Amino acid sequence: MQIFRSIDEIGKDVNSVLTIGTFDGVHAGHRDIIFRLKSYAEKNNLRDVVITFEPHPRTVVSDYNIKLLSTLEEKIELLESLGVSNLLVVNFTKEFSERSSEDFVKNIVCEKIGAKHIIIGHDHKFGKDRGGNEDQLKKLGMENDFTVEIVEPVSKNEYVVSSTLIRNALLEGKIELAAELLDRNYCFHGKVVKGVARGTILGFPTANIEVENKRKLIPKNGVYIVECEIQNNTVYGVMNIGVRPTFSDTTSVIIEVHLIEFNKDIYGEEIKVSMLKRLRDEKKFESKEELIYQIERDKRKSIQYIGSIIN
């Protein structure tokens, strides 16, 4: 996949099929759009191009502290895995947000990139104050010699897939629902850092994880079964997200994972954590012994669950 970091880099090719969006999470609905993009490009011998924005437009046009389902690096990895050939990452600034929808289509999409066909989601809005919609895009298509395809929403059971719904599911600890809507397990990347070695004292050494991007959404506090990729190894573990209320030694949320049957030195290493199942809420225990007993139960449940999915 070729990645272009500015509009001037990509070069104009009128024989292009485009899709445009933030694609936060690259969820099941986004995947449907990408599948249609690739299929249309192959059938009509066109260049396929995904146009996305960095940072997330809502962080620029409002004060809302939106949490990301996917960082730019994760988005790139996901789009590449779907077979996208060309990715244009547009630097979304306050100045860029002031462009009207008509200006964006005529002077950027048509004049600088080129388009034979544009595919967008059913709820796609673009341009200043999100003033552009599918009707205006179709009108501009007739004026500028490109066709438009609107992709209907994807539903999973009774849920219409959206990034907002996935964020809410994760914030409620519903990671299995989030996985269904994403078509993959939710994950995040970070670095293993030194903690206070509380887990080692308890007999369950843990790796403390510092998340790379502070805007990345971290699910609800609690205990989870996870799959980790570290040092080219796939390792399973039990992860706690929370404030360690039994010890009351912090008010900051700490992410720590006990890696099962893994005892290598991994301080400073990059780690990818994929969330498989939520076990329980974080809880304050009356004694260290009660906590150890619960951790042992969590570990046994995790081993049983991992055995059921890998055998």
Q: What is the pLDDT of residues 113-165, one digit of tens each?
A: 999 999 999 888 888 777 778 899 999 999 999 999 999 999 998 899 999 99
Q: How many domains does the chain have?
A: 2
Domain contains 173: no
117 and 214 belong to one structural domain: no
Task: Please report the DSSP string for 127-176 in residue order.
Answer: SGGG-B-HHHHHHHHHHHT-EEEEEPPPEETTEEP-HHHHHHHHHTT-HH
Say whether both 20 and 135 belong to one domain: yes
243 and 110 together in one domain = no
Residue 176 lies in a domain: no
- 181 located within any domain: no
* Cross-strand bridge partners of residue 192: 209
Residue 240 maps to which CATH number? 2.40.30.30
Q: What angle do CA 86, 30, 41 make, to 5 degrees?
A: 40
Give the H/E segment covering residue 59. Answer: helix 57-61
Catalytic one among 256, 261, 270, 290?
256
- Return the CATH number at 94: 3.40.50.620
Residue 175 in any domain: the answer is no
Assigned domain for 166 exists: no
Task: Identify whether 180 is part of a domain.
Answer: no
Residue 111 annotated to the active site:
no
d(CA 111, CA 206) in angstroms, rounded, equals: 54
One domain for residues 143 and 7: yes
Distance CA 5, CA 163 (A): 24
**Do residues 130 and 62 both lie within one domain?**
yes
For residue 293, what are the domain limits? Answer: 186-310
pLDDT tier at 62, thresholds 50, 70, 90: confident
pLDDT at 54 exceeding the cut of 60: yes
Q: How far is CA 164 from CA 13, 17, 43, 212, in A?
A: 34, 27, 33, 22
Whether residue 194 is found in the same domain as residue 96: no
Domain co-membership, 147 together with 192: no
3-state secondary structure of 237: strand
One domain, residues 156 and 36:
yes
Q: Angle 101-105-109 (CA atoms, 0-180°, nearest 5)?
A: 145
pTM for the structure as a whole: 0.92
What confidence tens digit (pLDDT) does each residue in 72-108 have? 999 999 999 999 999 999 999 999 999 999 999 999 9
Give the per-residue pLDDT at 197. 55
